Amino acid sequence: MRQRDNAIQVSKENVSREVEVIPRSTDMEVQHHTPFIAVPNLGGRPVSYKPEYADRIVAWFTAGLAEIERSQEIENKIGDVKYVTKPVFPRTLAGFAISIGMGTSCIMDWSAKYPEFGQAMKTAKAIQEQCVVMMTATGAWTPSFGIFMLKNCAGWTDKIDVNLEGQVALHFDVDDSQA
């Protein structure tokens, strides 16, 4: 290849045309030219939290509780009356996050950053726990699913903590110290 003026001639085997080369700016030209408006860094993405989310999370979990309270009275073959609740889709924090187009980690961050949302989330978790207990107690959900939900969403556990407190006095004789 040969350089000629501001163009490069490409060998005839590849392509038979000239390609224009744009000359590079010198450092002096770059310093005096400001093609962009300087915008201060605001520190990441804009906040997507809206104060209305505090009311929406409580309403979302309360809707599940309202569905449970609509039980039906059913009489079996021998005349016994039984109140049956239709199975309700379990309301979870992940489900609420999806409903507003966010992730659960974002929701958890909001609960720590915005006190009103943190309080609303505590209320929603209490409603969720009550829903799970009611659905399991009425037989709408299997006991194993109810236990699973309570352990994972409400912090319930099978573990029994046993704390023993007391004092033990040790007395040594002179003969014991040689042993």
pLDDT reported for residue 24: 55
pLDDT over 60 at 163, yes or no: yes
For residues 18 and 11, give the distance between their C-alpha atoms in angstroms, rounded to a whole number: 10
pLDDT reported for residue 107: 92
Tokens of 114: 């915005």
Residue 49 Ramachandran class (φ > 0 left, ψ -120 to 50 alpha, else beta) = beta
Q: Which residue has the higher pLDDT, 28 or 127?
A: 127
pLDDT reported for residue 76: 77
pLDDT reported for residue 4: 47
Q: pLDDT per residue over 86-145, tens digit each?
A: 777 888 999 999 999 999 999 999 999 999 999 999 999 999 999 899 888 877 888 999
Q: pLDDT per residue over 6-27, tens digit each?
A: 444 444 454 445 555 555 555 5
For residues 151 and 176, give the distance between their C-alpha atoms in angstroms, rounded to a whole number: 51
For residues 149 and 132, give the distance between their C-alpha atoms in angstroms, rounded to a whole number: 7
Q: What are phi and psi of 9, to 5 degrees?
A: -95, 125
Instruction: For the chain, give the number of residues.
Output: 179
pLDDT reported for residue 42: 60
Residues 6+ apart with CB under 8 A from 70: 85, 86
pLDDT reported for residue 171: 77
Tokens of 31: 């310093």
Mean pLDDT, rounded, for 16-42: 52
Domain ranges of the chain: 52-67+87-153
Mean pLDDT, rounded, for 33-42: 53
pLDDT bracket for residue 146 (50, 70, 90): very high
Q: pLDDT per residue over 57-74, tens digit each?
A: 999 999 888 777 666 777
Mean pLDDT, rounded, for 48-56: 93
Residue 81 Ramachandran class (φ > 0 left, ψ -120 to 50 alpha, else beta) = beta
Planar angle of CA 127, 130, 54, nearest 5 degrees: 5
H/E stretch holding 4: strand 2-4
